[in-house]
A and B are shown apart, each in its own frame.
Chain A
Amino acid sequence: MNKEKISANNINVHYGDKQALFDINMKMNEKEVTALIGPSGCGKSTFLRCINRMNDVIDICKISGNITVDGQNIYSKDTKVERLRENIGMVFQKPNPFPKSIFENVAYGPRIHGTALDKTDLEEVVVNSLKRAAIFDEVKDRMHESGTSLSGGQQQRLCIARAISVNPEIILMDEPCSALDPIATAKIEDLMGELSKDFTIIIVTHSMQQAARVSKKTGFFHMGYLIEVGPTEVIFSNPENQKTQDYITGRFG
C-alpha cells in the first residue's frame, strides 16, 4: 500500500453561478495510477485541472477547499504556480506539441526552469525524456523536424516526454488516448504501466476498460459529486454504490 501523495479536501468549484464540483474529498497515492471515471460533464476533468491549478486561467472559475501535495497546500498564497506545474505535468486530450522541432519541444521546459546545466546536459535530458516516453527510437533521426509532423500517437508520446522533461513527481492525463487508434492507445497504456513505477499518475478516462486495465484505484464522479472511490478490482467487480454499478455496466440513463 503506497503512501498518500495528493489529498483533496472539501473541494468546491463554481463557474460563475454554476457549481461544477460539490465537496470532493479524495486521496491519491504515490507511484501508482489513479483513474477518474464518470459520464460527460460530471466534473472529473475540472477536478483534474484543480490539481495543477490550470483552472486559474479561467476567470470565472472559483475554487474553495484545498489540495495538498506531500502535505503542502497548493492553494496557499505563497505557492508559485510555475514551480507547482514543474512538479505536476499534464498531458491533454488532443495531443498539442509546440509547432517547433521535436528537440525544442522537450527542451523548452528545462530551458525555462533552468534545470539543465549546459548544452550537453540539456541534450541528455531531452534524450532521456524521449526514451522514457518510448518514442526516442522513432524520432532519433529527425530531432529537428517539427513536432507536428508526427502521427497522433507519436505526438502524444512526445507530449508525455515534454511533461517528464522537467522531472515532475506527478503526471496528470486528461483522456490521453481518446483521440488515438487502438494500437497507439495500447502503447500509451503500456507506457503508463512503466511510468507509474516512478511517477504518480492521475488519469481521466471515458473508457472503463482502460481504467480497469491501468489503474490501481478508481474514483467515480457523477454530476459534480464523487460517488465512490476505491480499489479498481472492487469498483469494477462489485461496487458498493448502485449508481456506480449502473454506470460501469452501461445502464445509465
Chain B
Amino acid sequence: MSDHIVSAYDDQLNLINTNLIKLGGLVESQLKNAIKSLSDKDTSLADQVINDDNKIDDLEKEIHELIYKVIAMRQPIAIDLRTVLSAVTIAKDLERMGDHATNVAKRAADLKIYMPDSPIAEISKMASEVQLSITKVLDAYVAKSGQLALEIWDNDIVIDQSYVKIYKHLLKTMAKKPETIPGCSQLLAIAKNIERIGDYVQNIAEDIHFIVKGEILIRQSSNEDDWESLE
C-alpha cells in the first residue's frame, strides 16, 4: 500500500498502529506473568500484574483520543475508515483481555487454597496456546494479512476444545475428590478467563479480516455438541 500524499496523515495512522502494538505487547506480558504467578505460586508477581492493569487502561484511552483526532481531521474513507474504526474495537478488546489476565492473577494470588497440579499444567498449556495466538494476531495486524487473520480465526475452535477438556477434567476431579472443590473452582474460573481471552483474539482476527477484505466473517455455530458428551 503506497503512502498518503499528505505524510502527516500517515504519521497519525502509524502512531495509532504503534500504540496498538504496544498495548498488545502489554497484554501479552500480563498474561504470561499471570500464568507464571499461578504455576510458580508467586504472590508478588500476581500483585504486580494486578497493579499493571492501569497501564493498559491508560494506553487504551490514549489510543481512543488519537482515533477521534484522525476521524475529525482526515475524514478517512474506504480502507482508511475500516482501519481506524476497527482500531477502536481492537483497543477495546485488548483492554478486556488485560482485564481477564488480571482476573487470573487475582485468583492465582489466592494460593492458600490447594489447587491440584495436573489441571494447572493443562491450563498452562492452554494459556501458552492463547499467548501464541495473541502474538500471531498482533503479527497479522502489523502485516495487514487477511490470510493470517483467517487462520487465527479458525484456530479458536482448538482453544475452545482445550477449555472443554479442562472443564471436564476439573469436573471429574471435583467429583472424585470433594476436598479439591474450592481449588478446582478457582481453576475453573481461571480457565474460563483464559478462554475468554481466546475469544477476544478471535474478535481481533475478525476485525483484521474486515480491514483488509471489507467483509465480515460469520461466526460458526456454538459447540454445544461438545457439552453433550459430558452426560
Decide: A209 near B75, CB < 8 A? Known: A237-B81, A238-B214, A250-B9. Answer: yes
Q: Are B78 and A239 touching (Cβ within 8 A)?
A: yes
- Residues 57-82 of B, flagged 1 when their CB comes within 8 A of A and 0 if not, give 00000000000000000011111110
Name the distance in Å between A160's Cβ and chain B's nearest Cβ: 27
CB of A80 closer than 8 Å to a CB of B = no
Q: Which residues of A contact B79 (CB under 8 A)?
A: 245, 249
Chain B residue with the shortest CB-CB distance to A238: B214
Q: Which residues of A contact B77 (CB under 8 A)?
A: 208, 212, 236-237, 248-249
CB of A123 closer than 8 Å to a CB of B = no
Partner of B80, one of A239, A249, A253: A249
A84, B2: Cα distance in complex, Å: 44
Name the distance in Å between B175's Cβ and chain A's nearest Cβ: 53
A221, B80: Cα distance in complex, Å: 21
CB of B1 closer than 8 Å to a CB of A = yes
CB of B112 closer than 8 Å to a CB of A = no
Q: Are A250 and B5 touching (Cβ within 8 A)?
A: yes
Name the distance in Å between B105's Cβ and chain A's nearest Cβ: 42
Q: Are B5 and A251 touching (Cβ within 8 A)?
A: yes
Which bracket fits the contact residues of B?
A: 10 to 19
- Residues 78-112 of A, flagged 1 when their CB comes within 8 A of B and 0 if not, give 00000000000000000000000000000000000
Q: Are A237 and B4 touching (Cβ within 8 A)?
A: no
Q: Are B78 and A251 touching (Cβ within 8 A)?
A: no
CB of B3 closer than 8 Å to a CB of A = yes
A237, B21: Cα distance in complex, Å: 26
A12, B40: Cα distance in complex, Å: 76
Decide: A251 near B214, CB < 8 A? Known: A237-B78, A245-B78. Answer: no
Q: Which of A195-253 contact B (CB under 8 A)?
A: 208-209, 212, 236-239, 245-246, 248-253
Q: Are B6 and A250 touching (Cβ within 8 A)?
A: yes
Name the distance in Å between A210's Cβ and chain B's nearest Cβ: 12
Q: Which residues of A contact B75 (CB under 8 A)?
A: 209
A236, B77: Cα distance in complex, Å: 7
Q: Are B78 and A249 touching (Cβ within 8 A)?
A: yes
Q: Are A248 and B5 touching (Cβ within 8 A)?
A: no
Partner of A253, one of B1, B2, B9, B78: B2
Among all A-B residue pairs, the 5 with the closest Cβ atoms: A238-B214, A251-B2, A249-B80, A250-B4, A245-B78
29 CB contacts below 8 A, A to B, read A208-B77, A209-B75, A212-B77, A236-B77, A236-B78, A237-B77, A237-B78, A237-B81, A237-B214, A238-B214, A245-B78, A245-B79, A246-B2, A248-B77, A248-B78, A249-B4, A249-B77, A249-B79, A250-B4, A250-B5, A250-B6, A250-B9, A251-B1, A251-B2, A251-B3, A251-B4, A251-B5, A252-B5, A253-B5
